[in-house]
């Protein structure tokens, strides 16, 4: 049966949900608060658990055209540059997990999803995209439908509402009562994108490089078919001034170096070669405590609206895409009356995995930024365990 489903938020998670739901035969109204569809540019790592689901949505050819396929993950010390461990990707990893490990520019993945929804004939043509649609009011109408009114007084009604409206979600308040605001972590992230042709040969890369330091770590990996390099530095440092919700603030190398201090020569050379930096403050919420935090009656939450992820496991977009696939699956054959039960099954199926990833990302942050004895133990474990320590089969095979 075809349902009418409202999706609040047109980020990667919201568009993935719209596409997955349309592929199951449902009609979807996407409500985006911004005046235009788009994503702020930054890199995303897509593990096999994510690319497998994107391929299932028919996006394999488009994904191959925008992604870089890193050869390996290589972990080094931030202050001495010594290699600690490496994990090969490539064909062996793809055979093991049934899908590749890819790196993409966030805006490119968002654009691929958007173009698929705008130009597809068939199921995806059942998706309507609305801009300037900031959710102001949500109402459950006798348990038989859900209504949404936007700030400019437009109104929609559907069989279900999906809150994919991010960390500062408006829809979340309809599911989680007495919910405190997102918590500032005290960590700040600096990010940059630079064409590889503009870098000296020794700084160009076809792999995911990670440098671990005291109260900081850095990551660099190729995107856009390998033509660009995405660089991110995360440090336990005071946030830049400005709106806590702005994750695209102007920043400088000086502010970055004030937070990190002097790092090893190789990493320092890369940081100095980057022409410009952006910054944002990291916020999160406690890991999910149960399914009640992901769905209520005809309303479900997806991605950061339900379970914001710190970037220390590279799974923020990944868990949103997993959510989208799971949501479409439970609603595949549901009629209007069965929607609340289907959304309850979705929440039950997803909350524990999302909570596990949230907790592991927090744990990784402590390990990546370790000092003293914990740092020494971490480095020893990486040197001895190598790829076995870096691999996460419980995540990639899921």
What is the domain partition of the chain in residue ranges? 4-40+113-181+286-363
CATH homologous superfamily for the domain 4-40+113-181+286-363:
FAD/NAD(P)-binding domain (3.50.50.60)
Express each pLDDT in 69-99 by its tens digit. 999 999 999 999 999 999 999 888 899 999 9
Distance of CA 260 to the CA centre of its chain: 25
Express each pLDDT in 154-186 by its tens digit. 999 999 999 999 999 999 999 999 899 999 999
CB-based contact 161:8 (threshold 8 Å): yes
List the catalytic residues. 221
Distance of CA 334 to the CA centre of its chain: 28
pLDDT grade for 247, boundaries at 50, 70 and 90: low
- The pLDDT value given to residue 101: 97
Check pLDDT > 70 for residue 245.
no
CB-based contact 39:16 (threshold 8 Å): no
Give the C-alpha distances (Å, rounded to integers) separating 325 from 17, 159, 226, 274. Answer: 7, 18, 28, 37
In 123-207, at which residue ranges do the beta strands (DSSP E only) sit?
Answer: 127-130, 135-140, 146-150, 155-158, 160-163, 183-195
Q: For residue 105, what are the β-bridge partners?
A: 43
Q: For residue 76, what are the β-bridge partners?
A: 83, 211
Contact residues for 190 (Cβ-Cβ < 8 A; gap 6+)? 232, 233, 234, 235, 251, 255, 256, 259, 277, 278, 279
Q: How far apart are CA 342 and CA 352, in angstroms?
A: 17
| For residues 40-55, average pLDDT | 93
213 three-state secondary structure: strand
pLDDT higher at 240 or 161: 161
Check pLDDT > 80 for residue 258.
yes
Express each pLDDT in 132-160 by its tens digit. 999 999 999 777 899 999 999 999 999 99
- The pLDDT value given to residue 141: 79
In the chain, at which residue ranges do the beta strands (DSSP E only) sit?
Answer: 4-8, 27-31, 43-46, 72-77, 83-88, 102-105, 127-130, 135-140, 146-150, 155-158, 160-163, 183-195, 208-213, 216-223, 228-236, 249-251, 277-284, 295-296, 299-301
Q: What is the model's pTM?
A: 0.95
Buried b (16+ CB within 10 A) or exposed e, 144-182: ebbebebeeeeebebbbbbbbbbbebbbbebbbeeeeeb
pLDDT grade for 38, boundaries at 50, 70 and 90: confident
| For residues 354-370, average pLDDT | 97
Name the nearest CA neighbour of 13 among 296, 306, 336, 359. Answer: 306
348 three-state secondary structure: helix
CB-based contact 72:89 (threshold 8 Å): yes
- The pLDDT value given to residue 253: 86
- The pLDDT value given to residue 250: 79
Torsion of CA 91, 94, 99, 100, to 10 degrees: -60
Contacts 24+ apart (CB under 8 A), 248-252: 248/40, 248/278, 248/280, 249/278, 249/279, 249/280, 250/277, 250/278, 250/279, 251/190, 251/277, 251/278, 251/279, 252/277
| For residues 58-62, average pLDDT | 96
pLDDT grade for 239, boundaries at 50, 70 and 90: low
Q: What is the largest CA-CA distance in the chain?
A: 64
Range name among 36-40, 209-213, 353-357 with the lowest pLDDT average: 36-40
């Amino acid at each position: 049966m075809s349902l009418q489903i409202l999706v609040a938020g047109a980020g990667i998670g919201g568009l993935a949900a719209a596409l997955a739901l349309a592929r199951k035969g449902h009609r979807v109204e996407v409500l985006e608060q911004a005046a235009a569809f788009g994503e702020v540019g930054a890199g995303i790592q897509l593990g096999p658990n994510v690319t497998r689901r994107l391929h299932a949505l028919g996006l394999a050819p488009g994904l191959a055209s925008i992604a870089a396929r890193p050869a390996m993950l290589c972990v080094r010390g931030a202050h001495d540059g010594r290699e600690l461990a490496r994990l090969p990707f490539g064909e062996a990893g793809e055979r093991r997990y049934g899908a590749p490990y890819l790196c993409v520019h966030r805006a490119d993945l968002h654009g691929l999803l958007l173009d698929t929804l705008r130009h597809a004939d068939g199921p995806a043509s059942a998706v309507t995209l609305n801009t300037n649609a900031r959710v102001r009011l949500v109402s459950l109408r006798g348990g038989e439908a859900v209504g949404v009114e936007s700030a400019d007084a437009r109104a929609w009604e559907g069989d279900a509402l999906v809150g994919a409206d991010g960390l500062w979600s408006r829809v979340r308040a309809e599911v989680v009562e007495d919910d405190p605001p997102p918590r500032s972590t005290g960590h700040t992230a600096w990010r940059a994108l630079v064409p590889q042709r503009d870098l000296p040969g020794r700084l160009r890369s076809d792999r995911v490089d990670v440098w671990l330091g005291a109260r900081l770590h850095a990551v660099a990996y190729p995107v856009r078919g390998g033509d660009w390099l995405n660089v991110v530095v995360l440090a336990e440092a005071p946030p830049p001034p400005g709106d806590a919700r702005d994750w695209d603030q102007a920043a400088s190398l000086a502010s970055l170096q004030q937070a990190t201090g002097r790092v090893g020569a190789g990493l320092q050379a890369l940081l100095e070669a980057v022409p410009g930096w952006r910054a944002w403050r990291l916020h999160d919420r406690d890991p999910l405590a149960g399914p009640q935090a992901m769905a209520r009656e005809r309303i479900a939450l997806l991605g950061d609206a339900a379970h914001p992820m710190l970037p220390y496991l590279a799974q923020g977009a990944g868990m949103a895409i997993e959510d989208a696939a799971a949501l479409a699956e439970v609603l595949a054959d549901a009629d209007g009356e069965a929607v609340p039960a289907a959304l309850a099954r979705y929440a039950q199926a997803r909350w524990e995995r999302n909570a596990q990833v949230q907790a592991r990302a927090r744990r990784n942050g402590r390990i990546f930024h370790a000092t003293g004895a914990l740092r020494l133990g971490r480095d020893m474990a990486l040197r001895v365990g190598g790829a076995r320590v870096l691999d996460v089969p419980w995540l990639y095979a899921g």
